[in-house]
Chain A
Amino acid sequence: MRRVALAGNPNVGKSTLFNALTGLRQHTGNWAGKTVATARGEYTFEGEEYQLVDLPGTYSLTAHSQEEAVARDYIKSGQADGVVVVCDATCLERNLILVLQVLELTGKVLVCVNLLDEAERLGVKVDLSALSEELGVPVVGTAAGRQEGLNDLKAAIARLVERDAPAASRREPQERVTLAERYAAQVVRSEKADRRRRQQKLDRLLTSKSTGIPIMLLLLGLVVWLTVAGANGPSALLTELFARLGNVLEGWLANAPAWLSGMLLDGVYRVTAWVVAVMLPPMAIFFPLFTLLEDLGYLPRVAFVMDHAFQKCRTCGKQCLTMCMSIGCNACGVTGCRIIDSPRERLIAILTSSLVPCNGKFPTLIALITLFFVGGRSGLLASVQGAALLLGTLVLGVAGTLACSRLLSATVLKGMPSSFALELPPFRKPRVGEVIVRSVLDRTLFVLGRAVAVAAPAGAVIWLMANVTVGDATLLAHCTGFLDSFARLFGLDGVILMAFLLGWPANEIVLPVMLMAYLATGSLVEFDDLTALGRLLTQHGWTWRTAVCTMLFSLFHWPCSTTCLTIYKETGSVRWTALAIALPTALGLGLCLCVSALTRVLGMP
């Protein structure tokens, strides 16, 4: 098997090219001993097997970051039969600097000028044969997003691995830049600047003083509203579907012992079905919308607009990007912190990653907002109102992130912000089809699968706790009773706190556990509409204060088990993991205490 490495700057469509070449024949993981992701994939061309190794995207190979060291060591080691350097046709000059660096390590190089379609739209033309002549290596043009030029690339790779060429002599950094400039001047022709001007206009609109922040809030609000409003129907449909399936299962288990059918049906099945019905629709709407914004290139603009706040907190502006990832899934956000170079700033980003609500908390937050603050109504106005309140909750999460980052910067992780340079790649036309497939396969199903995997056993445990009687009450009742007086101090009650504890594996099951405990029937009862749920909660002494405190605690408490494990893996330290658990919990309890004390002092109901 031939082995070929893919190198290139970030944002040059390297992953798209990798996906287009290898399809689903790929495996991802980490480089041995490093927190740097690696992807390998295979493809066959003219009867020959090829393995592609996707090196981390870097601006240089000077080995000053883990990514650069990984890329450089791999190219130097000679493990690959050839190196393909992927370049962005719209920004060739800068990309050529890396090409020249790779050429100093090995001569078996193929330059792939990607994003030719984007370049065409921007009026940029690249003379590929002239570039090949200047560099002395083969050059192929591709538009990986449109699957163009892939066969030429495969053929060129086949020729590359056969050929033998010596590495170039070492150059000074300044020399490389000058040379790249000269080559680019010879092979790149830029014509109409209209598109570029339009891009700049859009950029100005999205980042200027008067419009940048309002548009950011509006877009985020729109995503949240579409999620809230669009998820209702499918959720109700799924709930009904699962109820029918439950009846069928009940028939099958009619002859089984009562404890077995109880545990399987009322425990495992009902909790799992709830999680799927409540979680799947919002995720299936939120993730594609979010990926769409990502694909468009909007997220770096958000980081640009928000950077000043992060700078004031003495952290890296890229933390804004990892925070956005955390809204999808906290664990993904923690892994995403790898893009931050400074170890101090990366740790801050990891420790504060669970302060923004992930998708799994949305259903609980939405339900409580709808019941207690929108009055349980439905319709357009109510959904806008609900979305606005959910947006407010998100903004509170961002405020918490900033406050805690500042606190960490002033205490355990003292230091000044390190320098940073953030590239704002050109806006790209989102590939809607690919976005939907990618977000549904990679994100939605992945996160849902993980949630189901923990919800099923959790369902059994909860059922057992609610049905095993010790003395005069069930285990669950003992636990909630034990926690009750402590929880009431914070405006919660024992059941709520217990639900959050049992919901450690997945935030999605917090609300169902609460219901199980309140109903004390030992099993989850379905609610066709929210009104019944509201009635149940008020019967158990819920006021708007309870709702506010529960929402605050839902927003700020310990990260879920998956996130905790990811934090431990990324930091390699029990102490930092413990702090990542303690920090949001302390913040949540503190806020709840304030709210409950203040409202009582002021004599509110």
Chain B
Amino acid sequence: MYEALCLSALQEGESAYVTGVNAGPAMDRRLTDLGLVRGTRVTCVLRSPAGDPCAYLIRGALIALRRTDAEGITLERQAQAVPAEAVTT
């Protein structure tokens, strides 16, 4: 079952896969630097006292993002088969 959602809606302890990054040019670039691109598995690990920001496990690192930024990242519950051309060396 495919369910589309955005990163800010991810509950604590839940994981999903990135389908699109659209959080503004500067943030997109930074997220790419951190390894957050299409197909990356993201887990919501911590919620701050106010519920915003949240900390996500991205490629082994714990990264805190604000809700407004996380809203620009779309996810799906299941990993799609990675297209072959994305694995070129």
A associates with B = yes
Residues on A facing B (Cβ under 8 Å): 59-60, 62, 64, 90-94, 97, 173-175, 177-182, 184, 200, 203-204, 207-209, 212-213, 300, 303-305, 307-308, 311, 317, 417-426
A-B contact pairs, 29 of them (CB 8 A): A59-B30, A60-B29, A62-B33, A91-B61, A93-B59, A94-B58, A97-B33, A178-B37, A180-B35, A181-B35, A182-B87, A200-B46, A203-B62, A204-B46, A212-B49, A300-B64, A307-B66, A308-B48, A308-B50, A311-B66, A317-B53, A417-B66, A419-B23, A419-B24, A419-B66, A421-B30, A421-B63, A424-B55, A426-B62
Which of B30, B34, B52, B58 is the one whose CB lies under 8 Å from A419?
A: B30
B78 contacts the other chain (CB 8 A):
no
A304 touches B46 (CB 8 A): yes
A308 touches B53 (CB 8 A): yes
A424 touches B62 (CB 8 A): yes
Residues of B with C-beta under 8 A to A424? 46, 55, 62-64
- Beyond the given A59-B33, A179-B89, A419-B30, please list 14 additional residue pairs across the A-B interface where CB-CB is below 8 A: A62-B29, A64-B29, A94-B61, A97-B35, A174-B32, A175-B88, A307-B52, A308-B49, A308-B52, A317-B53, A317-B66, A419-B27, A421-B69, A423-B63
**Helix, strand, loop or mixed for chain A's interface?**
helix
A307 touches B26 (CB 8 A): no
| Cα(A173)–Cα(B46), bound, Å | 28
Residues of A with C-beta under 8 A to B77? none
B80 contacts the other chain (CB 8 A):
no
- Given A304-B64, A421-B63, A421-B65, A174 contacting B53 (CB threshold 8 A): no
Residues of B with C-beta under 8 A to A209? 47, 49, 51
Residues of A with C-beta under 8 A to B60? 90-94
Residues of B with C-beta under 8 A to A180? 35, 59
A315 to chain B, nearest CB (A): 12
A292 to chain B, nearest CB (A): 21
Question: Which B-chain residue is minimally distant from A212 (CB atoms)?
Answer: B49
Residues of B with C-beta under 8 A to A177? 32, 35, 37, 40
B55 touches A311 (CB 8 A): no
B45 contacts the other chain (CB 8 A):
yes
Interface size on B, residues (CB 8 A): 40
Residues on B facing A (Cβ under 8 Å): 23-24, 26-27, 29-35, 37-40, 45-53, 55, 58-66, 68-69, 86-89
Residues of B with C-beta under 8 A to A425? 61-62
Interface centre among B24, B29, B47, B66 (most CB of A within 10 A): B66
| Cα(A92)–Cα(B31), bound, Å | 17
- Given A91-B59, A307-B66, A421-B69, A213 contacting B49 (CB threshold 8 A): yes
Residues of A with C-beta under 8 A to B40? 177
A174 touches B37 (CB 8 A): yes
B32 touches A304 (CB 8 A): no
A94 touches B66 (CB 8 A): no
A304 touches B55 (CB 8 A): yes
Residues of A with C-beta under 8 A to B52? 307-308, 311
Residues of B with C-beta under 8 A to A182? 87
| Cα(A552)–Cα(B51), bound, Å | 33
Residues of B with C-beta under 8 A to A175? 86, 88
- Given A178-B86, A212-B49, A424-B62, A173 contacting B30 (CB threshold 8 A): no
Residues of B with C-beta under 8 A to A59? 30, 33-34
Residues of A with C-beta under 8 A to B46? 200, 203-204, 207-208, 304, 424
| Cα(A327)–Cα(B38), bound, Å | 41
B7 to chain A, nearest CB (A): 12
A-B CB proximity, top 10 nearest: A308-B50, A419-B27, A60-B33, A59-B33, A91-B60, A424-B62, A422-B64, A94-B59, A419-B69, A93-B59
- Given A94-B60, A424-B55, A207 contacting B49 (CB threshold 8 A): yes
Interface centre among A59, A64, A174 (most CB of B within 10 A): A59
B87 touches A307 (CB 8 A): no
B56 to chain A, nearest CB (A): 9
